[in-house]
C-alpha cells in the first residue's frame, strides 16, 4: 500500500475553504504523531475532523469531535473576556 500524501489533496482543501467561506487558516495534518497526541484522550472512531480552540499563548483550550457552536462560543468568550 502506498503511503498517503496529504499534500496531493491541497487543491481539494483549498476549494472546500473557498466554498465554506472560511476566513481562518486551514491546513493538512502531515505529522501523524501530532494528530495522535491531539486525539489520544478521545476514545472511539477516528475523530477527524476535530474542532480545536487555541488560546493566545498557543495552549489548546478546547477539543471536540462533534461541532458544538454554543460550547465553542462559550469557550471563546471566556478566553476573550476580562
In angstroms, the Cα distances linking 26 to 18, 29, 78 are: 11, 10, 23
* Cis check: omega of the bond before 49, within 30 degrees of 0: yes
Confidence of residue 80 (pLDDT cuts 50, 70, 90): very high
Confidence of residue 77 (pLDDT cuts 50, 70, 90): very high
The percent of residues above 90 in pLDDT, for the chain, comes to 17
Q: Per-residue pLDDT for 47 more than 60?
A: no
Average pLDDT value for the chain: 76
Closest to 29 in 3D by CA, of 49, 58, 54 = 49
**Domain residue ranges of the chain, discontinuous segments joined by +:** 46-82
Closest to 26 in 3D by CA, of 47, 44, 40, 6 = 6
Specify which residues 60 forms β-bridges with.
54
Q: pLDDT per residue over 53-75, tens digit each? A: 999 888 889 988 778 889 999 99
Amino acid at each position: 500500500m502506498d503511503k498517503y500524501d496529504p499534500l496531493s489533496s491541497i487543491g481539494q482543501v483549498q476549494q472546500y475553504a473557498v466554498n465554506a467561506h472560511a476566513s481562518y487558516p486551514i491546513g493538512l495534518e502531515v505529522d501523524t504523531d501530532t494528530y495522535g497526541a491531539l486525539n489520544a484522550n478521545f476514545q472511539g472512531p477516528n475523530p477527524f475532523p476535530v474542532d480545536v480552540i487555541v488560546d493566545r499563548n498557543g495552549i489548546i483550550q478546547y477539543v471536540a469531535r462533534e461541532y458544538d457552536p454554543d460550547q465553542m462560543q462559550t469557550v471563546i468568550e471566556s478566553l476573550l473576556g476580562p
